């Protein structure tokens, strides 16, 4: 799976028995989970390192996922921070801090 394929994926509604897992449907019509996409991206990242030392991978992954998550939740809630914080399971103050951190506020 390429980055281009992932970029062209569309969000789909998960089956009723799996409402807690995020899915996309790629251009080939295959269902791909967010977890699968992250796994592929990390495998590619580590393959490109070619043994080079690296640190802060956790923060790298978190920032790559957290920013678009916050952006989409804010769009979904029409910028209602109370609804967004409830949806995310975050304290409203924590949400505001994260929104500022990613330049979304």
- b/e for 43-64, b at 16 or more Cβ within 10 A? eeeeeeeeeeeeeeeeeeeeee
HSE, side-chain direction, 13 A CA sphere, residue 91: 3
| Contact status, residue 25 vs residue 16, Cβ threshold 8 Å | no
* pLDDT tens, residue by residue, 53-103: 999 999 999 999 999 999 999 999 999 999 999 999 999 999 999 999 999
What CATH number matches the domain at 55-105, 1.20.1070.10, 1.10.10.60, 3.60.10.10, 3.30.2080.10?
1.10.10.60
* pLDDT tens, residue by residue, 25-63: 888 888 889 899 999 999 999 999 988 999 999 999 999
Tokens of 22: 């995020």
* Domain residue limits, the chain: 1-53, 55-105
pTM for this one? Answer: 0.69
Q: What sign for the dihedral angle of Cα 83, 88, 91, 92?
A: negative
Q: What is the dihedral of CA 21, 26, 29, 33, to 10 degrees?
A: -20
Residue count of the chain: 105
């Amino acid at each position: 799976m390429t980055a281009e394929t992932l970029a062209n994926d569309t969000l789909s509604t998960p089956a009723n028995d799996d409402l807690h897992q995020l899915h996309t449907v790629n251009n080939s019509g295959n269902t791909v989970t967010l977890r699968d996409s992250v796994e592929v991206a990390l495998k590619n990242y580590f393959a490109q390192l070619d043994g080079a030392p690296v640190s802060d991978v956790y923060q790298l992954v978190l920032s790559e996922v957290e920013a678009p998550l916050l952006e989409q939740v804010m769009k979904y809630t029409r910028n209602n921070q109370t609804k967004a914080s409830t949806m995310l399971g975050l304290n409203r103050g924590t949400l505001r801090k994260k929104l500022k951190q990613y330049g979304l506020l």
